[in-house]
């Protein structure tokens, strides 16, 4: 039972903060908009600034859209850094740039505090159900201190390594998920235009080496045309942007990630930024003048 700050109460942050309150913690809250009534009714305390949150809490969690927002909330005017005292812990659970994260961690360390990067996967459903996967980078001592909080929000919790390694792991996850969707999409569009039934092909492949969670869940979506999210293409585009930016900085070649990003952009240009990411198949269908839904030629 600790005094916890939570900054960023959007689609993900709000249910995560709720789960911390349910677990018995006292929460100090700040949001870009006003703090949701329900959180205040549950016992959360709204604060006027990120600085005020950091002054009152021992551990401050951020859950924000992207790197610039995290930088601003940490180091901007009335930001977290201004309210910290030595011994406090900052945990960024947003999905942001791994390289910027290492810089943020160094600057928080310099204040005598610990910094953890702890991005999540599992989406809104996982946030509500407290079943998020949490990938953590940073000092082990802080990780162990924060563990009860992570356990109130998630299930599959791993400390991968030092600062930045949590964000790096999240980027790696988003690369694999996007490229496996793309792989299944190429295979099913090929099979369908060659005259086979995509649903039966998917079924035949599930038993072998091509098996994956993506073939199971997103292969099914492609066959049944169930493209309501799920995980929105616009969000996955943001994550692949982190991968491609990071790759440029590091000097890493990610040729298929670059192509997958173009296919997501093709969907967005078709008005599909809000489609589930499995709808990447629609870009390949457009390029191949063939819809899986239409069945054999």
Known catalytic residues?
Answer: 170
- Residues 16 to 55 in contact with its own copies, rule: CB under 8 A: none
DSSP-derived letter for residue 34 is P
Q: Name the residue nearer to its own copies (CB basis): 86 or 195.
A: 195
- Residues 106 to 125 in contact with its own copies, rule: CB under 8 A: 121-122
Other Cβ atoms less than 10 A from the Cβ of 32: the count is 12
| Closest distance to its own copies from the beta carbon of 194 (Å) | 4
Surface-to-core class of residue 277, CB atoms within 10 Å of its CB (0-12 exposed, 13-18 middle, 19+ buried): buried
- Residues 275 to 294 in contact with its own copies, rule: CB under 8 A: 284, 287-290
Enumerate long-range contacts of 206-212, CB under 8 Å, 24 or more apart: 212/180, 212/184
Quick one: which of 35, 260, 267, 281 contacts its own copies (CB under 8 A)? 260
| Closest distance to its own copies from the beta carbon of 193 (Å) | 5
DSSP-derived letter for residue 238 is H
Binding mask 145-164 for its own copies (x = CB under 8 A): -----------x-x-xxx-x
Quick one: which of 49, 62, 94, 212 contacts its own copies (CB under 8 A)? 212
188 lies in the site for its own copies, by CB under 8 A: yes
State how far the Cα of 195 lies from the Cα of 192, in Å rounded to an integer: 5
Q: Name the residue nearer to its own copies (CB basis): 9 or 96.
A: 96
Listed ranges 6-14, 56-64, 111-119, 178-186: which one lies at the site for its own copies (CB under 8 A): 178-186
- Chain Cα centroid distance, residue 18: 18
Quick one: which of 38, 176, 293, 294 contacts its own copies (CB under 8 A)? 176
- Residues 237 to 256 in contact with its own copies, rule: CB under 8 A: 243, 246-247, 250-256
CA dihedral over 240, 244, 245, 246, signed as positive or negative: positive
Q: Which residues contact 156 (CB under 8 A, 6 or more apart)?
A: 132, 133, 134
Q: Name the residue nearer to its own copies (CB basis): 89 or 215.
A: 215
Size (the chain), residues: 297
- Residues 190 to 209 in contact with its own copies, rule: CB under 8 A: 190-191, 193-197, 200-201, 203-205, 207-209
E strand segments, 25-131: 26-30, 45-46, 59-62, 89-92, 114-117, 120-121
Total of chain residues touching its own copies, rule CB under 8 A:
74
State how far the Cα of 33 lies from the Cα of 10, in Å rounded to an integer: 9
Q: Name the residue nearer to its own copies (CB basis): 54 or 281.
A: 281
100 lies in the site for its own copies, by CB under 8 A: no
Q: 20, 94, 21, 7: which is closest to 52 by C-alpha?
A: 7
Q: Name the residue nearer to its own copies (CB basis): 94 or 212.
A: 212
């Amino acid at each position: 039972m600790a005094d916890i700050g939570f900054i960023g109460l959007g689609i993900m942050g709000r249910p995560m903060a709720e789960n911390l309150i349910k677990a018995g913690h006292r929460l100090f809250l700040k949001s870009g908009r006003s703090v949701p009534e329900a959180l205040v009714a549950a016992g959360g305390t709204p604060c006027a600034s990120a600085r005020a949150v950091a002054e009152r809490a021992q551990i401050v969690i951020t859950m924000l859209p992207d790197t610039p927002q995290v930088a601003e909330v940490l180091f901007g005017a009335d930001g977290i850094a201004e309210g910290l005292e030595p011994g406090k812990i900052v945990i960024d659970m947003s999905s942001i740039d791994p390289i910027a994260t290492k810089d943020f961690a160094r600057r928080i360390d310099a204040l005598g505090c610990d910094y953890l990067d702890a991005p999540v996967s599992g989406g809104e459903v996982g946030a509500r159900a407290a079943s998020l996967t949490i990938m953590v980078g940073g000092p082990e001592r802080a990780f162990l201190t924060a563990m009860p909080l992570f356990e109130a929000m998630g299930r599959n919790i791993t400390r991968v390594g030092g600062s930045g390694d949590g964000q790096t792991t999240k980027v790696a996850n988003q690369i694999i998920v996007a490229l496996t969707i793309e792989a299944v999409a190429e295979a099913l569009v090929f099979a369908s235009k060659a005259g086979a039934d995509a649903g039966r092909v998917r079924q035949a492949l599930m038993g072998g080496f091509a098996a994956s969670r993506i073939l199971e869940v997103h292969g099914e979506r492609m066959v049944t045309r169930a493209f309501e999210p799920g995980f929105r293409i616009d969000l996955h585009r943001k994550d692949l942007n982190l991968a491609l930016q990071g790759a440029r900085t590091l000097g890493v070649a990610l040729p298929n990630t670059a192509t997958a990003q173009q296919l997501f952009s093709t969907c967005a240009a078709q008005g599909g930024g809000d489609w589930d990411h499995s709808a990447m198949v629609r870009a390949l269908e457009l390029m191949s003048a063939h819809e899986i839904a239409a069945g054999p030629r």
